[in-house]
């Protein structure tokens, strides 16, 4: 996502990383009880995965996360007027890149005088599911996170 943000910054596309909470809290990164703790968790995650985009913290009660769908790894694209033009229940760089290229092309087509009318699309994208990396993230949070996840999902 960092490379994607850098690539599209030349087109005046701004990006943020919204830190909501740990999806699977454990002993090392427990359930959040203060904004100070949330700041610490967000900073640690930023450093661990190398986020170079601005990191914004959601409210402690997760108000933003709930308002935008409550999925664990969502991505949204908004146009300049604040209208959502892309929503995904999982952040996948290839899907987001495809959407950004499409909307930048549409902007250019409008600049050349083409009249475009909006319509709604739904599609099912596919992402790489790296189970080993996922479990590594669970282990970072602590044995409790691994135990609880395995108890529910096997």
* pLDDT, tens digit (0-9, with 9 covering 90-100), for 138-151: 999 999 999 999 99
Q: How many CB atoms lie within 10 A of CB 86?
A: 17
Average pLDDT value for residue range 39-50: 96
Report d(CA 24, CA 145) in Å as an integer.
5
pTM of the predicted model, to two decimals?
A: 0.89
pLDDT at position 12 is 93
**CATH value of 2-153 in 3.30.1370, 3.40.30, 3.40.50, 1.10.3470:** 3.40.30
Please write the tens of the pLDDT for every residue from 46-82.
Answer: 999 999 999 999 999 999 999 999 998 999 999 999 9
DSSP 56-90: EEPPTT-HHHHHTT--TB-EEEE-TTS-EEEEESB
Element (H, E) at 19: strand 17-19
Res. 154 pLDDT band, cuts 50 70 90: confident
The per-residue pLDDT for range 78-127, each reduced to its tens digit, is 999 999 999 999 999 999 999 999 999 999 999 999 999 999 999 999 99
Average pLDDT, the chain: 95
């Amino acid at each position: 996502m960092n490379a994607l943000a850098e690539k599209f910054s030349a087109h005046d596309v701004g990006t943020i990383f919204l830190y909501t909470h740990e999806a699977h809290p454990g002993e090392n990164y427990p359930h959040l009880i203060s904004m100070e703790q949330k700041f610490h968790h967000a900073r640690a995650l930023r450093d661990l995965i190398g986020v170079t985009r601005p990191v914004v913290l959601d409210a402690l009660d997760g108000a933003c996360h709930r308002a935008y769908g409550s999925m664990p790894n969502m991505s949204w694209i908004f146009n300049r007027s604040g209208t959502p033009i892309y929503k995904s229940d999982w952040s996948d760089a290839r899907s987001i890149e495809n959407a950004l290229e499409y909307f930048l092309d549409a902007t250019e087509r409008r600049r050349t005088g083409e009249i475009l009318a909006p319509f709604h699309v739904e599609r099912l994208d596919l992402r790489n599911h790296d189970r080993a990396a996922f479990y590594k993230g669970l282990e970072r949070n602590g044995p409790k996170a691994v135990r609880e996840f395995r108890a529910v999902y096997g």
